[in-house]
Chains A and B, each alone.
Chain A
């Protein structure tokens, strides 16, 4: 049998056994300690693997990245803010920063609005499950596969030639000239962002729909009996009640928009002015520019910190309710 399969099998069986053994051995050792000390020590034994992983793979590397961003390429000499000066003066990084802002506004905005719209519309029909499945379907598809899917949608053939791209063929039947969606700088960022929206709307819809179903039907009926129009009911009752959910979905998608990587990387490799911060970071990392790569990562981290604090605060509020 293949060596790799044996290794993988070993991990699948070995790791749970190892962890079980770890708990068993420490439990034996704990038994020798005074009874009063046991409950003080045991919790640390139990959370140790998870906390160790968090420190080794997230906390310490993140701190290290911040340090690297103040050093030169070899990581030996302190260069002050040089890398940051480079980041904020280099046309490539500035362009990628601008693209991330486009992602932030349009990807987040349209996915949330699209999700809300789908949740509200689908709530009124009998084939709700079918409609939801259709919109949800792209979610489990990897960015790599969706990028290939959309390469066919956006395929460009010169005017006069047979259009093999779905979108260009469609606008062709309406009499328009084909558009090089992924190359033309007026359309390409939006073309990429739409692939993101296509994936994320199902996510937004699912969460918003769950929250929509929890609104009491009597409340809406009362408003309708009082003569409020459907639109008014939506705008003055449903949307305000959904606001906390919309914020949660919005924050999640904002984080996704900031660290988006796969879609631009696979569809355009960041060419034609479609680069984003995360792909900038990756290209520099591959070229061995560890100082510049780290600086880009730190900028990304700093932008995300406020969202992290919002998350922690929301968690604390939830805990108080519990």
Chain B
């Protein structure tokens, strides 16, 4: 990054007037960037400000009026959503869906990733190419039969159904990521461990897992946020179950209120608080998950 930036400052323009004229020339660049940043930030800021205004104010004046006194800030919306049937409960549901789904998925994927990377077996390439292909299969192509299956065995609407479904849909990509990472670890380490008599379980547990902690961490964050933010899977398999997560409850509230949905600003803030906190504090892992996921949808 520094290399690319320094090439832009030409050495012979480093005189005082040169610097000033360079600043003027670069003004449009900065202006453009500030405009982009404003467009990308204002919608979220607007929602955030609105969520702290009286519900009546939200439908009678824009959020920006609160930036000037009298701001009349209140937590009325937050109180309203907590009193709204099902919302508080759905926050807990979201956690109870996302945490186990993440654990199940990452554990299975790590084991399979190791096997695909360091074991030789017939059909390995066929299985793995299938997994690569499955990464882009739209889950819509599976919804009807899987829903029928869940109904047939009587688990539709339960946490178990959603954990299993998320695991099934997420595993191809997770396996792909972990296989690539674990397969990229130095071969010599695994070979010398083998010569020293370390079995596969030992090599997996004492070499592959500890060395893959960064990528496993990135995956945990990535999967957790994906499930936390998911709408389609929960909407399909949860029906009207009391186990519905927050995304489903909020969506159903949005679509059922023609007007007067404004108090849901608070619900949106609560729903996105966790992803944003994760993003701001664990940005490095999050960005890594995103970049590695370039092939995924």
Contact = CB atoms under 8 A, between A and B. Distances in A.
Interface of A: 2, 4-5, 7-8, 11-12, 15-16, 19, 23-24, 27, 39-40, 42-44, 46-47, 49-51, 53-54, 56-62, 64-65, 68, 118, 121-126, 128, 130-131, 133-145, 147-153, 162-166, 169, 198, 201-203, 206-207, 210, 212-213, 215, 217, 220-221, 224, 248-249, 251-252, 255-256, 258-259, 261-262, 265-266, 269, 278, 281-282, 285, 290, 293-294, 296-298, 300-301, 304, 307-309, 311-312, 314-316
A203 B290 contact: yes
Contacts of A51: 112, 127
Nearest to A5: B96
Interface stretch (B13-21, B26-34, B67-75, B211-219): B26-34
Contact of A54 (B4, B168, B236): B168
A153 B43 contact: yes
The size class of the interface chain B forms with chain A is 35 or more
Nearest to B143: A285
Contacts of B169: 57-58
Most interface-central of B8, B137, B247 (chain A CB within 10 A): B137
Contacts of A314: 295
A203 B277 CA distance: 18
B36 interface: yes
Interface string B60-100: 11111000000000000000000000000000110110011
Contacts of B175: 50
A62 B142 contact: yes
Interface in B94-138: 95-96, 99-100, 103-104, 107-109, 111-112, 114-116, 119-121, 124, 127, 129-138
Given A121-B36, A162-B60, 13 more contacts: A8-B99, A12-B103, A15-B104, A54-B134, A68-B144, A68-B145, A140-B278, A164-B60, A166-B62, A259-B297, A281-B143, A297-B140, A308-B137
Contact of B272 (A64, A141, A210): A141
A285 to B, nearest CB: 6
A278 B254 CA distance: 19
A221 B7 contact: yes
Interface in B4-54: 4-8, 26, 29-30, 32-33, 36-37, 39-44, 46-47, 50
A112 to B, nearest CB: 12
B110 to A, nearest CB: 10
Q: Is the interface of B mostly helix, strand, loop or mixed?
A: helix
A231 to B, nearest CB: 13
A142 B63 contact: no
Interface string B206-233: 0000000000000000000100110110
Contacts of B290: 139, 203, 206-207
